[in-house]
Structure 1
Amino acid sequence: MQMIYVECQLGRSDVDRLFAVALEGITPAVVQVSTQRDATRYTAANLGDLIASLEVANVGSLNGPWPNLALEANEASGTRRVKVAIDVERAEFDLSGSDQTWVFGQAARLQLLLNSVGGSRAFTMENVPYREFLPGRILTVGWGIGAVFVGRVLYPPDPDLGMIIGFGCAVLSMFGLQALRTHYRRRANRPILLVNGEVERGSWWERLGVADRLTFVGAVVAAAGVLAGAAIGVAQITMAK
């Protein structure tokens, strides 16, 4: 059984748990942990030994994001096998064995673990951005309908024009805000593999930097200003007539 997950944010404790779950039921196990750095692949019997070998090889700082990490384990009898391959884009698992209960049980446990670190199944509706797309579009439509009525009230000589102005301003501002929100949400939730550190947890807003927060808030204020300006403009046209 093969599974591919994207948007995983893994720190050292997450990797330890992931490897521990992956190795459950494989006893005794022949284990190999590895990582590729440039043209060289480093391997060891466990993660601690792998880190030690990289430190000796002087491949650079190990405290930042790692480009990849892999685990392969086989039961001595050859009846159970697991492969884990993690890189900056995805985490891939391959479980096989004659015991299908073990295979599906491991798959379920790995799924729960990866969901807890922000992961989602690749190439399924879980990974389609409708989860962040739909709420914003519903809000856009609601705001637009409200702006239609406001435009008609503020500009009674030509309610159709008022409706168009109100709806247009609302939709444009909300689409812009939703696009900005999606950008910063993905920025905060981008995949990361920190084998020698921990990933900061919390909502996407809590994990944004101060500069990004100020930019987002400024955009919200600007959108509100556009709507207010449109309303004032319509009101002035009304009073002039």
Structure 2
Amino acid sequence: MIGAPATTMLSNKYTKCRLGRSDLVALFSLAAGPISATNATVTTVHNSTRWSARSLEDLIRDITSAPGYDDRVRWDNLQYSAKDPAGELEVALDIRSRKISVDISGSNEILVRGQEARIELFLRNRGAEGPPVRDYGTLHELVMISMCMLMIVVPWKGNQQHAPTGTTAPTGSSKVDSWMVVVECCLAVAMLMLVPTFLYIRRAQLKVLEDIPAGSVWSRLTTTEKFSAVGIYATVLAGVAAAVSAVTDVL
């Protein structure tokens, strides 16, 4: 008696991935592989209603053209599934704003492992990372920013303390204070340079209705974010210019 063929089952989870509309269309096409489009399904829950369609474009059209569609409701989930009738390959994707779950199984081990490698490469090219046991990345960045702020605030406050009346300041103290001001300005600029990295580069995104800009950090920002960034750096430059002017007067 011949038993049923063994089933290979692979499961992976990814974080920090940035997927826009065209990325999702390409991902679903890649994930299907040899499976026919008639055996694939795209589902989502939007505005407390579950929707299902054969393709992402059909799903978007059905939801956005529905009478009760509300464009202010956040669209933060997608599920894709495709199954070969012969059982050689089955792919299931659960896509959220901050993580993606990939489950691949089937009786054809070569096909299963090949699809896993293709999907992983596709996601990593869009910023995906495998989740560590504990994610210390964000904590590390917060600690570094806090340390920079302390290095700026503490010496600055110390420089505001004047020698008591009738006493003479130590020789060279003005030069030391001047260099401290320069160091503090450099630290302030360095700290603000971390803002795009902390807020924009590493943040995960899922945009079903539009594409996510690729390329440099500046090109990824929205118009509002660009105006905000310009305002922040203009303020910093003005503060640095004032500090440099004060240092020049002291020297």
Could you tell me the TM-score, scaled by structure 1's length? Answer: 0.69
User: The residue matched to 1:5 in structure 2 has which SS?
Assistant: strand
Partner residue of 1:213 out of 229, 233, 242: 229
Could you tell me the TM-score, scaled by structure 2's length? Answer: 0.66
The one-letter amino acid of 2:205's match is I
Distance 1:101 1:223 in 2: 61
> What is the match of residue 88 of structure 1?
97
Distance 1:64 1:40 in 2: 12
Partner residue of 1:40 out of 18, 43, 49: 49
With 224-233 and 121-130 compared, the bigger mean Cα shift is at: 121-130
User: The residue matched to 1:121 in structure 2 has which SS?
Assistant: coil
Structure ranking higher in helix proportion: 1
Partner residue of 2:211 out of 176, 198, 203: 198
Distance 1:218 1:55, change over 3 A: closer
Distance 1:222 1:7, change over 3 A: farther
* CA apart distance, 1:176: 3.5
* CA apart distance, 1:227: 5.2
> What is the match of residue 200 of structure 2?
188
Verify the 8 A CA contact 1:83 1:95 in the aligned structure 2: yes
User: The residue matched to 1:91 in structure 2 has which SS?
Assistant: strand
Q: Which digits, 9 at most, give the CA deviation of each residue in 1:48-74, with x for residues without a partner?
A: 332233135334256996321110122
With 172-181 and 198-207 compared, the bigger mean Cα shift is at: 172-181
Distance 2:19 2:72 in 1: 13
Percentage identity across paired residues of the two chains: 26
- Structure 2 residue 247 is the aligned partner of structure 1 residue 231: yes
Verify the 8 A CA contact 1:120 1:127 in the aligned structure 2: no
User: The residue matched to 2:82 in structure 1 has which SS?
Assistant: strand
> What is the match of residue 151 of structure 1?
none
Which runs of 5 or more structure 2 residues have no equivalent in the other structure? 1-9, 149-169
User: The residue matched to 1:188 in structure 2 has which SS?
Assistant: helix
> Number of matched residues?
216
Verify the 8 A CA contact 1:11 1:199 in the aligned structure 2: yes
The one-letter amino acid of 2:104's match is L
User: The residue matched to 1:120 in structure 2 has which SS?
Assistant: coil
Which runs of 5 or more structure 1 residues have no equivalent in the other structure? 141-155, 236-241
Verify the 8 A CA contact 1:71 1:84 in the aligned structure 2: yes
Matches within 5 A, 1:120-159: 120-123=129-132, 128=137, 157-158=171-172
With 13-22 and 217-226 compared, the bigger mean Cα shift is at: 217-226
